[in-house]
Structure 1
């Protein structure tokens, strides 16, 4: 074997080893996240997330806390993450450039999710805010990687983009709720501004961010669906539970309309551009 051939074989061997390590890191991170979620749910006999930290994250703790059923979306997200962990382990994905780019951001998000649960269980609400902020940034990175390097077939789109998109959309709303919970638990009184006004402002900021994501991703559906789900349950919580607030519920509903309209409009424009080509003067 000539020198260049030996070098090529050595590089291929290192690549295969690095890819296997990458796949194992994602798989182990997925297991850690799911075990953390199992413990955080109280299924193992521990304190449930909504009861931890003095109930700061309960459905009635703040005006932008989603009603309890909203958190059922985690079942779908965790299922998607486990499927993704298996999917990226398949031989066809081992050397895929897309998976090489996504693996470590996804693994980081899984470990950050477990860290968030631990911080809440420990009653460290401001630490949980820092963790979820980093988690949100990592998920933005991962989802933007999906947008820049689109899938070549439907299975990859559903398993990879769909899961990461749902994860990002939900965490976008959860971050807002987490910040509000930490502020309320710290005794923040609104600086003279009513809690309803603060809630509406926070919902508006989250709405703008998710709507911008929908436009930037040329109509990515998964973040839209998850964020709309979260906002819908904020509206339900404010209309049927405590603290009761019709204005906050209306703000959440308007947020859904803006996010859905922005995302679907971007999707239609992107589809038209692909079909007809860019409009020229």
Structure 2
């Protein structure tokens, strides 16, 4: 009996700290827009210092953070419910989401402080725990109830999808700030290479795990980049073609799964 009680206490602590970390990350994000450090918001820094970084999506794309935080709050509340205290999947994820949320708050500070090299490290500390959660949950590889899919799997997939994009963008910004010459390769070619990398990862996840949420985020990002660079025929066409192919793959998988049932 004492061991069971102790387990309860540790589970409650994990639940509480996870919910607190989500709330903390949200508050930091809100404050960074209302009263930004050094006077400029993340978007304003992006539009001024990194206006020439071609991989950055159009401004409207960042409204996805509303969906991400909605999902995170759903996750936080769901995992905090008493009947989820002993959920083995949530137990296996441990404090990984806490690490990601804390790293995100640190990233906001570093980026607003224009410490872009260090911000890449913080971004990786968001990305890697999310990958760990994704793998521990086995998203797409096993059946979960509808409620859990909406409150756990989808929020993590969407968050990971956008952080995958954000990591590529963050690295590109840091290299641009350091005046990296791209080894003599043009910025357009590097951007296409990054398109292909993001596309390949998303296509693999979509095919292997039937993860429509992750794939949808990458499609969203590619279209937003195409919109921003509409007058650049190379970037526009490549981004749109890859987005269409990804959407087609996701649709085919969705239709096949529906047919199977």
How does the TM-score come out when normalised to structure 1?
A: 0.84
Cα deviation digits, residues 208-243 of structure 1 (max 9, x gap):
1121122232x111101111111111110001xxxx
Check conservation: 1:105, 1:142, Cα contact below 8 A: yes
Q: Which moved more, 1:189-198 or 1:158-167?
A: 189-198
CA distance change for structure 1 residues 141 and 264 in 2, over 3 Å: closer, same or farther? Answer: farther
1:25 and 2:24 matched:
no
Unpaired runs of 5+ in structure 2? none
Is contact 1:238-1:248 (8 Å) kept? yes
Decide which moves more: 139-148 or 31-40.
Answer: 139-148
Which range moved further: 48-57 or 183-192? 48-57
1:80 is aligned to 2:71: yes
Aligned twin of 2:233 = 246
CA contact (8 A) 1:112 1:135 kept: yes
Q: Deviations over 1:29-49 (max 9, x none)?
A: 112110111122x21354210
Q: 1:223 aligns with which of 214, 232, 251?
A: 214
How far apart are the structure 2 equivalents of 1:270 and 1:141? Answer: 26
Q: Which residue of 2 aligns with 1:49?
A: 42
The reply on whether 1:101 has 2:101 as its aligned counterpart is no
Distance verdict in 2 for CA 1:134–1:268, change over 3 Å? farther
In 1, distance between residues paired with 2:35 and 2:88? 39
**Distance apart, 1:63 and its partner CA:** 1.0
Cα pair distance change 1:268/1:91, threshold 3 Å: same
2:168 counterpart SS class: helix
1:115–1:131 CA contact under 8 A, matched in 2? yes
Aligned to 1:34: 26
Unpaired segments of 5 or more residues in structure 1?
1-8, 276-281
State whether residues 53 and 120 of structure 1, in contact with CA within 8 Å, keep that contact through their aligned partners in structure 2. no
For 1:54 and 1:64, locate their aligned partners in 2 and report how far apart those are by CA, in whole Å. 12
Deviations along 1:72-116, one digit per CA (max 9) or x if unpaired, are 000110121112111111111111112112342222221121121
For 1:191, what is the secondary structure of its paired residue?
helix
> 1:26·1:104 contact (CA, 8 Å) conserved in 2?
yes
Task: Quote the Cα distance in structure 2 between the aligned partners of 1:257 and 1:45.
Answer: 37
Alpha-carbon distance, 1:51 to partner: 2.7
2:249 is aligned with 1:256? no
Q: CA RMSD in A?
A: 2.2
Q: Is contact 2:99-2:125 (8 Å) kept?
A: no
How far has the Cα of 1:198 moved from its partner?
Answer: 0.9
Size of the alignment, in residue pairs? 258
Separation in 2, partners of 1:200, 1:247: 9
- 1:65, 1:234 within 8 Å by CA — same for their partners in 2? yes
Q: Structure 1's 138 and 215: CA in aligned 2 closer, same or farther, altered over 3 A?
A: farther
Structure 1 window deviating more from structure 2 (260-269 vs 96-105): it is 260-269
Alpha-carbon contact 2:188-2:235 (below 8 Å) kept: yes
* TM-score, with length taken from structure 2: 0.90
